[in-house]
Structure 1
Amino acid sequence: MAIAKSPSKLTLPKHNPGVATVVDYLIYKFPQIDASIWRQRAIDKKLHWHDGSVITLETLYQPQLRVYYYREVEKEPEIPFRETVIFQNEDILLAYKPHFLPVTPGGNYVNECLQNRLRKKTGIENLQALHRIDRVTAGLVMFSVNPETCHLYHQMFANRQMRKSYQAIAKIEEHCSEPRAGQQWEVINRLECAEPRFLMRIIEGESNSHSRIRCLDRFEDKALFELEPVTGRTHQLRVHMQSLGWPIINDRYYPVLQPESADNFAQPLQLLAQQLRFKDPVTGQPRTFHSGYEMNPATWL
């Protein structure tokens, strides 16, 4: 059994979805976790409020209070790739995340995530991820080191003052149009959850997603793209590439959801969070950070 060293937390919504107790809400919120597990956690005193007081089976739902719990999984996968610290000062840390490693705990991953690895490596228990990239995506992730300035960097992301640049390799099918080096696209549409709910789809309606995409290079039946997300919807770049007719190589979700199986470490998603550019809200200094990697369609087999 793998048990998280640090607690996860969630804030109870202002509007009660129709439950009586906190445990009832956790069962409603996380249907993939058996109800008996949440009840046993309450019995074992593994649920508590912000002040440390225990949440029991009878504790009533209280809107907008924060609940803390410790995630558990029977067997946690190990990711055989290493992270790299790119930059660190008294306020922030930037690291390269390898494919398959989650940024923070989730799903079957409790302690095996970038945030926990970096906390152990640096000894900084306050280290906090400022944004996320998909588990199967590699590239740059930024962390707060100083709790006193953390909110300034959070605001920078929330206000879209961070310029992100990705690279992706796609295979060009015979029936699809062929992109030319230098060709650009502005993809603007509405993304909503599909079925199952971890997938996204494009629907009619007011736009809520925007990506800039440019073809950088061609090699035989593959092409290299630069992707700049203007907004940050779930799976946005993956869905937008598919919508142009060029799904990213080794994408197991788009255009067709593949059967669930163990990770194939030899076939990572060909998507890289390559660059971050921003004006540092603490120093006022313009900053640019690079992952240290370049994708090349000629070397992908």
Structure 2
Amino acid sequence: MVLQGKNTSAPAVQRVLVDEQDAGQRIDNFLMRVCKGAPKSLIYRILRSGEVRVNRGRIDQTYRLVAGDEIRIPPLRLAEKADTSHVPGREFPVVFEDEALLAIDKPAGVAVHGGSGVSFGVIEQLRQSRPEAHFLELAHRLDRETSGILLIGKKRAALKRLHDLLRESALDKRYLALVSGRWPNPVQHIRLALTRYLTDEGERRVAVDEEGGKASHSIVRLVRRWQNFSLVEVQIKTGRTHQIRVHLTHLGFPLAGDDKYGDFALNKALQKSGLKRMFLHAASLKLAHPVSDEPLELAAPLPRELADFVAHLDATEKADYGA
């Protein structure tokens, strides 16, 4: 990417030449990265209005960049560049790494990126700890309280391929979750459409909405069952926000420790028994390597605090499945 024009304090037209590194990326995603501080609504407005031009012609938000394209970006008043001097560099347990891809085992309680009241997250800390890295971008998201495998692209082409695999549901993503209640079936498909909404307090939530929601599909396999709890493996075929949490709660099996959709009285009791977080862990991931296309199988064991709680259940309740 090459910027042309003077860098002054007043907003001015920018002309950007696309290089091989950015080729293949959608124009809307490219602008969100280049125009730091610009809200999404502004990006899509200038695209719809034709103020953004590629090779002097109008394009829509789905246009994919080609090396050598010249992009005209209209004058924008953007927020000041974020000060990253306060972000502590941090490395996380590595599940897999090569020149194109990084997979880490994210701990619970850490956001994947800054925003919504969080000043920094995993990606900012990784960038700070790896100043020599030219490219580090999240391939997907995990909720702050969810632990487990998180994929990060180290090259633009690898990130694009990972996004394609996610869009095509070509990744086999499986989570381990502990739910309240006795899960009845060895294998069960859950197909419940989901929609997002805001609470009166402005917090993001998700609900089942079979008429207006987006199609969502989870496959639940029973791993172990006790008198009052069940350990299940959940394979997600779609990646909707809070999908696992909402699907299981809607069927009457809230996740242990879930502070948004769970059983709050139960959560309080569980804290006294040693479970102080939501029991949801991204445990395994199978995919084709985004560059070599070789099969890749990744696994992250249950964190100590979750494994200890399973041991507590074994000691206090009799298991009648999977023991």
Shorter-chain TM band: 0.5 to 0.7
The corresponding residue for 1:109 is 118
Q: Contact 1:9–1:69 at 8 Å: present in 2 too?
A: no
Partner of 2:311: 299
Q: Report if the CA contact (8 A) 2:218-2:234 is conserved.
A: yes
Q: Does 1:192 align with 2:195?
A: yes
Q: Give 5+ residue unaligned stretches, structure 2.
A: 1-34, 47-70, 266-270, 314-323
Structure 2: how far apart are the matches of 1:90 and 1:300?
41
- The residue type equivalent to 1:226 in the other structure is E
| Structure possessing the higher radius of gyration over alpha carbons | 2
Which residue is equivalent to 1:93?
102
1:183 matched residue in structure 2: 186
CA distance in 1, matches of 2:263, 2:289: 40
Distance between the aligned counterparts of 2:142 and 2:279, measured in 1? 13
Unmatched tracts of structure 1, length 5 or more: 1-5, 17-49, 57-66, 173-177, 259-263
Q: One-letter code of the match for 1:183?
A: P
Q: 1:257 to 1:68 in 2, by over 3 A?
A: farther
Report what 2:66 is aligned to.
Answer: none
CA distance in 2, matches of 1:209, 1:287: 25
Equivalent residue, structure 2, for 1:28: none
SS of corresponding position for 1:274: strand
Alignment partner of 1:272 is 2:275? no
The answer to whether the 8 Å contact 1:171/1:248 transfers is yes
Cα shift at 1:7: 4.6
Provide the C-alpha distance between the structure 1 equivalents of 2:79 and 2:299, rounded to a whole number of angstroms. Answer: 35
Q: CA distance change for structure 1 residues 208 and 300 in 2, over 3 Å: closer, same or farther? A: farther
Following superposition of structure 1 onto structure 2, how do residues 1-301 of structure 1 map, counting pairs within 5 Å?
A: 7=36, 10-11=39-40, 12=42, 14=44, 55-56=76-77, 70=81, 83-111=92-120, 113-123=121-131, 124-172=133-181, 178-180=182-184, 183-196=186-199, 198-205=204-211, 208-255=215-262, 267-293=276-302, 296=307, 298-300=310-312
Q: Is the 8 A contact 1:162 1:277 kept in 2?
A: yes
Once the two structures are superposed, residues 178-229 of structure 1 have per-residue CA deviations (whole angstroms, 9 ceiling, x without a partner) of 324x622111121112341611111232761110011110133221010011
User: 2:188–2:221: 8 Å Cα contact kept in structure 1?
Assistant: yes
Displacement of 1:98: 0.6
Aligned-residue sequence identity (percent) comes to 22
What is the rounded CA distance, in whole Å, between the counterparts of 2:82 and 2:263 in structure 1?
31
Contact 1:219/1:298, CA 8 A, preserved across alignment:
no
Once residues 103 and 83 of structure 1 are traced to their aligned partners in structure 2, the CA distance between those partners, rounded to angstroms, is 12
CA gap 1:220/1:121 in 2 versus in 1, 3 angstroms = farther
Instruction: Name the aligned partner's letter for residue 179 of structure 1.
Output: W
Counterpart contact for 1:200–1:235, Cα < 8 Å: yes
Counterparts of 2:117 and 2:275, CA distance in 1: 20
Q: If each structure's helix is expressed as a fraction of its own residues, which one has the higher value?
A: 2
Instruction: Verify the 8 A CA contact 2:136 2:154 in the aligned structure 1.
Output: yes
1:165-189 deviation digits (Å, cap 9, x = unpaired): 00001122xxxxx324x62211112
Q: Which amino acid aligns with 1:217?
A: R
Query: In the alignment, is the contact (CA less than 8 A) between 1:276 and 1:290 conserved in 2?
Result: yes
What is the number of equivalent residue pairs in this alignment? 237
Q: Is the 8 A contact 1:140 1:276 kept in 2?
A: yes
Output one character per residue of 1:3-26: Cα deviation in whole Å (capped at 9) or x when no partner: xxx95554435458xxxxxxxxxx
